[in-house]
Amino acid sequence: MRVPRSLAQKLSADLTAAEFTVSALTELWGEDAEQALHRNHRVPALRRLRTQEPTPASTLATLFVLGMPVDRSALHEALPTLGVDGAEELDLVDASGDSIRPNRDLRPYSFIDATGAGSWWIVSDLGELALGRELGEDHVLGVGGASLSLAGLMLQKPVQSVLDLGTGCGIQAMHASRHAQRVVATDISERALEMARLNAELNGIDNIEFRHGSLFEPVEGELFDQIVSNPPFVITPRRADVPAYEYRDGGLVGDAIVREVITQSAAHLTPDGTVQMLANWEYSGATSGLDRVASWVEGTADGVLDSWVIEREVQSPEEYAETWIRDGGTRPGSPEYDTLSDAWLDDFDRRGVRAVGFGYVILRLRADSSGSTWNRYERLQTPAGQNETGLGVHVAQCMSAADRARSMTDAELATCSLTVSGDVTEERHFWPGAEDPTTMMLRQGGGFGRTRPVDTALSALVGACDGELSLGAIVGALAQLLQVDEEALASQLVPQVRELVDDGILLLP
């Protein structure tokens, strides 16, 4: 069903008039109730609302965020332009009686990106809290933790075209619309595409084209400056009694959907085009998950893909099964939960999977195929959510700096006057009564929040990087101070400096 644009515009007008915003809702029920909602517990919010006079914002929050029925008269007051009939036509509500029930989740969403602060309203399917049961297999997910991670990871430099592969409710396409001239958003689910269209129209975004189909089929033969994807990467047993949720299950065995996106993406990138995606990968036999991803990347497109793959978490088969069975709304202790757990663990046992990794994949198609590729695979198991808002900006800066540093010889790098990034601090730990530190660490406040051990020489070098002295001059002064051979010290320190440049800890002029 295609939604009339006029209805989306009326809904937008009503939501604006009702001041249906993130800050307004938090003010309605308070920070503690807000945190409880993140844990799928709505009672604290409901109790706070009962103590207040109803407002349009509280009516909309009760209906669409908390998933509770409201009176017809109250909803008419909250949506005077759209009306109850219009809300029903948009399939937002079931208006068959005087008590109006929600059919969809509708909530405000706010963010900050490289362009500045922004806010939207996002329509998705009702979650487990409102449904009181397991999710349907055609469930359209709203803005969750993975959505926020990818939105933060997205490179935000201006480009002509972006492909959002597996758009879901459309949130990544909407973010991409802020820095791209044109966005193509695809999904295998028609329901998801309809909700994504509604979200774009509701928020006045008109540079997104929506197409139905699997993976790259809807864009065969087309090239894009950027591809973003939160693909349906969840590893699911291929059994009839295991739900295949469209929003997370790509229908292939194991991590094959991730392999397909990685290996096919090069054929759809312009020179210097990039990919940012979330992914799972399996540990099988003696092969690590990162080695598995490396084999996909480096065996693709004649080896012309630069890559930066970051593993944020590793789960055992038991932990992985628990995570995704619970995600679908099946509660531990039920017969259904036990059946699904058996199915997941049987699948992992049969295929020899000993662990599953989760992380970020960043790719770039080299414009110059004659040069060597830049391939970086690392484990950064920092707390989930840390600094994710600005990761895309940080990643772009690190990649640019790495390109520049790799184009320089050690002698050329020695002529540069580097500076320390403003978010970097140094920690020193001492045994009680000791004059010298036992441990020294550089700690990065932004980016990936890295902590890097350093020795006395490297600590002194970083401390002297004030943008005035050249790297060569600093190494020479340190050699005299430490009474060591300058050439030997340079051989020790310059490779470490290159690593710090790659990490965004030291900045090139």
Element (H, E) at 414: helix 410-414
| 122 has a pLDDT exceeding 50 | yes
pLDDT in tens, 236-255: 999 988 988 888 888 889 89
The C-alpha R_g of the chain, in whole angstroms, comes to 26
Q: Are 269 and 275 in contact (CB under 8 A)?
A: yes
How far apart CA 443 and CA 452 sit, in angstroms, is 7
Q: Which alpha helices (H) appear in 139-233, and where do they start and end?
A: 145-153, 171-176, 190-202
Structure tokens at 460: 């002194």
Structure tokens at 445: 């406040």
Between 250 and 274, residue with greater pLDDT: 274
Q: At what angle do helices 471-482 and 486-502 cross, to 10 degrees?
A: 130
Do 42 and 66 form a contact (C-beta atoms < 8 A)? yes
Strand order in the sheet with 424-429: 424-429, 439-444, 451-453
Provide φ and ψ at 214, rounded to 5°: -95, 135
Classify 232 as helix, strand or coil.
Answer: coil
Q: Please state the rounded mean pLDDT for residues 303-329.
A: 91
Q: What is the pLDDT of residues 168-219, one digit of tens each?
A: 999 999 999 999 999 999 999 999 999 999 999 999 999 999 999 999 999 9
pTM to 2 decimals?
0.93
- Cβ-contact 481, 464 below 8 angstroms: no
Decide: 373 and 305 in contact? Cβ < 8 Å.
yes
CA dihedral 192, 147, 173, 4 (to 10 degrees): 40
Task: Quickly list H helices, 79-127.
Answer: 83-89
Catalogue all structural domains in the chain, each as residue range(s) with its CATH number.
Answer: 5-102 (no CATH), 158-405 (3.40.50.150), 410-507 (3.90.930)
> In the prediction, which pLDDT does 213 show?
95
Residue pLDDT, tens place only, 35-76: 999 888 999 999 999 999 999 999 999 999 999 999 999 999
pLDDT tens, 348-401? 999 999 999 999 999 999 887 666 778 999 998 755 444 466 799 999 999 999
User: Which contiguous run of DSSP H or E holds residue 273?
Assistant: strand 269-284
Whether the pLDDT of residue 3 is over 70: the answer is no
% residues pLDDT > 90 (the chain): 80
Reduce the DSSP state of residue 275 to 3 states and report it. strand
Sequence letter at residue 28 = L
Using DSSP bridges, classify how beta strands 224-229 and 180-187 pair: parallel, antiparallel or unpaired.
unpaired
Q: How confident is the model at residue 231 (pLDDT cuts 50, 70, 90)?
A: very high
Structure tokens given for 285: 């036999």
Please check the confidence at residue 128 and state whether its pLDDT lies above 50: yes
**Vertex 302 angle, CA 373 and 150, to 5°:** 60
Query: CB of 245 within 8 A of CB of 135?
Result: yes
Supply the pLDDT for residue 384: 46
Task: Read off the pLDDT of each residue in 95-115 and give the average, rounded to a whole number.
Answer: 92
Given a contact cutoff of 8 angstroms between Cβ atoms, the answer to whether 290 and 379 are in contact is yes
- DSSP-assigned letter for residue 300: S
Residues 6+ apart with CB under 8 A from 489: 457, 475, 478, 479, 482
CB 118 within 8 A of CB 159: no
Amino acid at 187: D
Cα angle 36, 38, 41; round to 5:
45
Q: How far is CA 200 from CA 9, 18, 39, 175, in A?
A: 11, 20, 28, 11
Could you tell me if 147 and 172 are in contact, meaning their C-beta atoms sit under 8 angstroms apart? yes
Phi, psi (rounded to 5 degrees) for 294: -60, -40
The answer to whether the beta carbons of residues 461 and 472 sit under 8 Å apart is no
Instruction: Give residue 136's pLDDT.
Output: 87
Report DSSP letters for 305-350, one per residue: EEEEEEEEEEE-HHHHHHHHHHHTTPPTTSHHHHHHHHHHHHHHHH
